[in-house]
Structure formats: structure tokens, C-alpha cells
Amino acid sequence: MTAQTKTPDVHTHTHGAIGHLSLNRPKALHALTLEMCHAMSAALADWANDDAVEAVVIDHAEGRGFCAGGDITFLRNSALNDGGVSGRKFFHDEYQLNHQLFTFGKPVVAFMDGITMGGGVGISQPARYRVATENTRFAMPETGIGLFPDVGGGWYLSRLSGRMGQFLALTGARLDGAECLWTGLATHYLPSDKLAEAKARIIADPSRISGILSELAVTPPDARIEKNADKIAKHFGSDRYEDILASLEAEDSDWSHKERDTLGTKSPQTCKVALRQLSEAAGFTDFAENMRNEYRIASRVITRPDFAEGVRAVIVDKTGDPAWNPATPEDVSDALIDSIFAPLPDNEEWKPL
């Protein structure tokens, strides 16, 4: 170990030619704080210009990882107490980290060993190598709390085949490691008891990351979602939310009833936001363009009623009874959605680091 700097919630250090980012906030399932984002960004900036660092590993230090998202309670407090100002700052800098990872010039390996949601998706999906295990639980559950699949979610989800991204964005469905590999959200599937060996071998020879992961990879169990792929493509084929609901409603099957009921618990506003977000993101050629779009959305959505209410019902009070406003998809006007996606004043637009 040549250098070591620590912040309490993320360890940044080097092992030989490997830069190592290890999330260390186990009581919060390693959810990201602004300080953690800044520590990771600073380390990546140093390593980008350090010829001695050949690759970067991202993992979690202890407990059930990998990363359960962003600091949602902090964001809700911002929405309620400072008009979203500190929340927007969090989104802005977190998105800079997401973009920094996406454009990083050296190989990055993310070990998604455990819960990988929201912000955890944002720091793992940009990696060239994304390792799932039997412990992986991947989801973008934001529509259930009046948010949307941000941190680059628009880019990644819109590029999955068969409308899988739209399904994941709207329902917040959880994928296991085998399903992550099948959808392409993971590049390798390793047993968790092989991760220490994988990291040791990568540290010993960073030029062989691909070969090392392939040698330690195993055939995962069947991806359960594969058997529903045709149904997902059929029922989630429209970018109009009402069409999706009507399609599920029209089919008399246990699966369609279950998914229709799931959507009934989500914020109608942010379901419509997510569909438009993915539709626009599919056409972007530059990841920075995607992050600028998501920052515009985040800046508006954080102070809309559904966010504070969704976090209250799901995370704070745990009553599971959010009162959405607007209450129905029909009440969510095109004008409201347009206002959420509108450009910000020039001096407020998101910019990369």
C-alpha cells in the first residue's frame, strides 16, 4: 500500500498499481453522502493523472453492501427546509462523480456484491467490469418515493433490450446477480467467496483483469426474468404510461395483475417522468448530455410534493401509504412534465468536473 487517505465513510487508497475505493458506511448500507462523493471524485482525479495507477477497484468495506443509494433523508430535509438548495448541490456533485467514472480513462472494476440501488447503480454501471454475485440485489426503486431513476439511469436503462429498462424504471423490480448478467447490467458473475482472490490477483497483475474475472467466473443460476421477457416487451412497449397500464389491465393473468398492482403504488408523476427520461436518453450520444437532462429533472422533482411524501411513507414512517399529488396518471399534465424537463438558467445548468 503506497498511499492512504481516509474519510470515515469511504476509504481511498492504492495497492500497488490499483486505486481502491471502498465504501464504509455499513449502518446505512453504504448509502452515499456528499462527502463520500467528494472523496471519490478527488481520488479519481489524482489517479487519472498518476501513471503508477493502472486501474481502479470499487467495493464496500464491510456489512451488506454494495451501496443502497443516496442519502434520501438528507434530500427530504432539503426539500422541506431549504427549498431543495442543498439537495440540488448533492445531485449536482454526485452526477459529476457519475460522469467522471463514465469517462475515466483507465479500467474500473465494480464489485456489486450485495444491495446495488440508486446511487450504487450510478457508481457501478460506468465501470468497464461489473461483477455480480449471488448476493447482488439490483434495483432502481425511485418511482416508489416520487423520484426517478437518475445517476445515469436514463442512459443505462434506455439501452437495455426488450423494454427491460422501462420495466425496471417503472416497477422498481429487483434483479439478482444472474438476472444482472443476463440483462447486461453485469459483465461477470462470481461466487462471493472468490472475490478476495479476484481482488488479490487484480492487484498482482492489473493488465489481466478481464482474464482473471473470466477464470473465476461461474455459470449463474437461470435468470428468472428471462421467462417474462416477452411479456415485458409487450406490455411496457409504449412511452405513454396510460398505454402500459391499459395493456396490463387488459390481460387476465397473475403476472399482469401483479405488475399492475405494483404500478398502482408508484408516483404517477415520476412514472411519466421516467418514461420520457428514457425516451430522450436513448437518443443522446454524449453521457454529459444525459446528466444535464437528469439534473434538470432532479432540480424540479425534489421540491414537488411527491418526493417528500414518498420518502415519508416508505422510509420515514414506513406506512406505505403515500398520497400522490397529482393522484392519477390522467391528472399528470403534459405541461407539468414539460416544466420538469425545461432547461435551467444558464448559470444553474449541470456541468462536468
Domains of the chain: 4-348 (3.90.226.10)
pLDDT higher for 112 or 5?
112
Please provide residue 345's backbone torsions phi and psi, each rounded to the nearest 5 degrees. Answer: -55, 145
Give tens-digit pLDDT for 116-135: 999 999 999 999 999 999 99
Q: How far apart are CA 276 and CA 273, in angstroms?
A: 5
Q: Please, what is the average pLDDT of the chain?
A: 96
Mean pLDDT of the 8-21 span? 96
Question: Is 313's pLDDT higher than 60?
Answer: yes
Question: Is 3's pLDDT higher than 80?
Answer: no
Q: Does the active-site annotation cover 294?
A: no
Give tens-digit pLDDT for 89-114: 999 999 999 999 999 999 999 999 99
Q: 3-state DSSP call for residue 58? A: strand
Task: Tell me the whole-structure pTM to 2 decimals.
Answer: 0.96
Q: How far apart are CA 234 and CA 127, in angstroms?
A: 31
Mapped to the 3 state alphabet, what secondary structure does 66-81 carry?
EECCECHHHHHHHHHH
**Which is the catalytic residue, given 70, 165, 172, 310?**
70
Q: Does the active-site annotation cover 349?
A: no
**Which is the catalytic residue, given 9, 142, 176, 179?**
142
What percent of the chain clears pLDDT 70, i.e. is strictly above it? 98
Mean pLDDT of the 245-266 span? 97
**Which is the catalytic residue, given 150, 176, 259, 306?**
150
**Which is the catalytic residue, given 69, 84, 118, 119?**
119
Question: Is 64's pLDDT higher than 90?
Answer: no
Determine the pLDDT at residue 65.
81
Q: How far apart are CA 77 and CA 33, in angstroms?
A: 14
Q: Does the active-site annotation cover 176?
A: no
Give tens-digit pLDDT for 267-308: 999 999 999 999 999 999 999 999 999 999 999 999 999 999
What percent of the chain clears pLDDT 90, i.e. is strictly above it? 96
Give tens-digit pLDDT for 211-231: 999 999 999 999 999 999 999
Determine the pLDDT at residue 174.
98
Q: Does the active-site annotation cover 119?
A: yes
Distances (CA, A) of 328 to 135, 257, 339: 36, 18, 18
Q: Are 23 and 59 in contact (CB under 8 A)?
A: yes
Determine the pLDDT at residue 1.
36
Q: Are 100 and 41 in contact (CB under 8 A)?
A: yes
- The helix-helix angle for 241-250 and 268-281 (nearest 10°) equals 110
Question: Is 2's pLDDT higher than 50?
Answer: no
Determine the pLDDT at residue 13.
94
Give tens-digit pLDDT for 28-59: 999 999 999 999 999 999 999 999 999 999 99
Model confidence band, residue 6 (pLDDT cutoffs 50, 70, 90): low
Question: Is 247's pLDDT higher than 70?
Answer: yes
